[in-house]
Structure formats: C-alpha cells, structure tokens
Amino acid sequence: MSEARQAPKEASRQAHWEGVYTSKEETTVSWFQDHPAPSLELIERAGATKDTGIIDIGGGASRLPDALLERGFRHVAVLDVSQAALDVACLRLGRRASEVQWITADVTEWSPPQRFDIWHDRAAFHFLIDAADRAAYVARLTEALRPGGYAIIATFATDGPEKCSGLVVNRYDAEGLARELGEMFTLVETRRHDHLTPGNATQRFQFSLFQRRGGI
C-alpha cells in the first residue's frame, strides 16, 4: 500500500479514523451499509463495464469492493486515510483482497498514480470543512478522473445530520455540491437516500452523479 506524506492536519485526521476502526466493530458504526444499493445503481447509470476503473474514496471497510468483485469488475481501488479500516476490508475479502488496489492516503495529499473512469465517494467529502481541503480534494478529483469520466459523491443532505463520528460536517444539496466541484464537472443526476444506521436512526443523504468535462 502506498504511503502519503503526513502534514499535521492529515496526521490528526488519520489518528481519528484509526481510533474509530480499532475501537469499534465494522458493523456497529453509523455509516455501516450491508448492501451499497444507491452506489451500485449510480455506477450502473454511469455505464460501467467490467473493465471500468473505479476508485472508492474514503472507502474504509465499505462493502462496495465486495459487491463490485461479485459483479465481475476487474479494476477496483479503495483509498482511505486509515490503514486499520483497509485491514478490516482485506480480512473480510480474504484471498480476493489481492484483486483490489488498496491505497492508504489522505485524499487531500494524494498524488494519483493513474486515471480512473469512476470516482466514488460516500460520505468522505462532507468531512472537509476547510475551504483549502475542499480545493485540494477537487484538484485530486480532476487529476484522477479521465475526461468524460464520472464522479459519484454522496454527502449528508441539507436536512441531514450536522455531525458524524463526533466531527462537524458540511451538508449539501446537488447544486451546492456542483458549485464546490466547479466548471469542470456537469451535474447529471441527483437523488435522496435515507440511510438507516445500525442504531435505527435515519440519516438523510444526497447522492449526485457528475461527469467530468473534456480537456486535459
């Protein structure tokens, strides 16, 4: 797994998520989702084939790579700042873990080694409350996604929770998220989703599909 250069802010972020994934079971965290249906639907909507290159940003111990491998996808990558989270996913996948590219990095500090066809992010971007971090994220997104490729970004909706895992988040509607991504991305589709946590609380999300415009 690749290692990112750690600035103090990144180290603090990493320490938080390492603490979460070493102190809690995967299935007890509020964002646990046994079947990532909204993500899979939008990946299909983006026209993905088994040869599509997909990266899951902030994927942690998500079940998305399991679902993609089951569907025959051959080029799946998962990026997360927490090594512990990725270890949970690797252990769960067993031998199939070798079929996934695992990247330990903070997305705001990452240098994409290649381009992808689909960028997927379920609930990572909304933790970036500093404008500089959001700008860094968009820069990496633009660099990592091929022209014509798709970005699927899910955040808490404007009427969703104000915090997650003890951290303040930014809440978005599709238009607000589009403004953050800028003119290189066109909003294709958006949908709301009510996520039921393991504690039976409802978290309101928005899932938005964007297409990267042409150019470099």
Tens-digit pLDDT profile for residues 89-132 = 999 999 999 999 999 999 999 999 999 999 999 999 999 999 99
Beta carbons within 10 angstroms of residue 194's beta carbon? 10
Beta carbons within 10 angstroms of residue 45's beta carbon? 14
- For 39, the token pair is 């993500």
- pLDDT band for position 21 (50/70/90)? confident
Q: How far apart are CA 160 and CA 65, in angstroms?
A: 26
Radius of gyration of the chain (CA): 16
For 122-156, write each residue's pLDDT tens digit.
Answer: 999 999 999 999 999 999 999 999 999 999 999 99
The three state secondary structure string of 1-38 is CECCCCCHHHHHHHHHHHHHHHHCCHHHCCCCCCCCHH
CA 171, 114, 145, 203 dihedral sign is negative
Match 């996808």 to its residue by tokens: 73
For 167-193, write each residue's pLDDT tens digit.
Answer: 999 999 999 999 999 999 999 999 999
One-letter amino acid at 206 equals Q
> Considering only CA atoms, which of 171, 169, 125 is closest in space to residue 151?
125
Q: How far apart are CA 128 and CA 28, in angstroms?
A: 23
CATH top-level class of 8-24+33-212: alpha beta
pLDDT (0 to 100) of residue 216: 65
What letter does residue 84 receive in the DSSP assignment?
Answer: H
- For 19, the token pair is 């603490």
- For 23, the token pair is 């102190």
Q: How far apart are CA 82 and CA 166, in angstroms?
A: 17
Q: How far apart are CA 104 and CA 78, in angstroms?
A: 9
User: pTM score, two decimals?
Assistant: 0.90
Mean local confidence (pLDDT), 50-60 = 97
pLDDT (0 to 100) of residue 8: 44
